[in-house]
Structure 1
């Protein structure tokens, strides 16, 4: 797989994520329907911080997002425990777009490089920046699917 194909997939997956937010209001972004652990806003923020942490932890880049993002959207965090006002959807969407450009620029020519440490998931060992980046697309797609499911649950409860 060539660099151009991988970077195109990064773009495609991110555009799909951003499109899921186009008609989402601030109020809807914070609804947690029955059966869900988090909200649309949390899932978007989580996508952002995981990509940021992968770039910093495995490619050695400086983390781009503030520690506040990690506190709000990290693993095992919940909107019900937030102590500060979360970023707006407009801010999150801006960060998603900015992050796509940053990934392409900062990692695009490094896909074949060994990562700072391997990423191991379910016994599979990923050792290059490209392997980890392409795996992160699965993570983003999974959370985009959750966003879609939350949107559908909210729509169903309003009918």
Structure 2
């Protein structure tokens, strides 16, 4: 299962990073009508949540700055951002680094039971699969946002 999980992370993260990398300048910072956030927020959110799921951020992982929770946790919004917000390019590099760290997780870890089940996920492997599901949802949101932004620019 873990080899398939790692391949799925490569596929999903690769498509996610390529989508963001191909955006036109400024697009990631636009919040279209009907959406609560920007593409920039979604990129940071996926990074931060994956770090929580896979590495126990912010308590067990120091790979990301703690203030990422202020910017990108569930329920946050770019409208409330204050301070030094990482650029989309910085987030892309961190997403790529995170993928490399995910692929170094020992295979046997995925069978470990969680101390507290999370949204029906009972093992670390199930939680990892949920992280991929979460990333895919946000990629879809970003794709819809891009279409709306492009339609409104014409």
The TM-score with structure 2 as length reference comes to 0.91
Once the two structures are superposed, what CA deviation does each residue of 1:109-134 show, in whole Å capped at 9, x if it has no partner? 41111224321x2xxx2211100100
Aligned to 1:113: 112
- Aligned to 1:67, the other structure's residue is in SS state coil
Aligned to 1:68: 67
Change (3 A) 1:107 1:48: farther
Q: Is the 8 A contact 1:113 1:128 kept in 2?
A: yes
Q: Distance in 2 between matches of 1:74 and 1:48?
A: 10
Q: Tell me the CA shift for residue 22 of structure 1.
A: 1.9
The TM-score with structure 1 as length reference comes to 0.89
Structure 1 segments unaligned to the other structure (5+ residues): none
- Aligned to 1:127, the other structure's residue is in SS state strand
Q: Tell me the CA shift for residue 64 of structure 1.
A: 2.2
Q: Is the 8 A contact 1:53 1:63 kept in 2?
A: no
Moved more, 64-73 or 20-29: 20-29
Q: Is the 8 A contact 1:72 1:78 kept in 2?
A: yes
Aligned to 1:44: 43
Q: Tell me the CA shift for residue 107 of structure 1.
A: 4.9
Superposition CA RMSD, Å: 1.8
Q: Distance in 2 between matches of 1:61 and 1:102?
A: 14
Aligned to 1:99: 98
Q: Distance in 1 between matches of 2:150 and 2:40?
A: 16
Query: Does 2:22 match 1:27?
Result: no
| Matched residue count | 153
Aligned to 1:140: 135
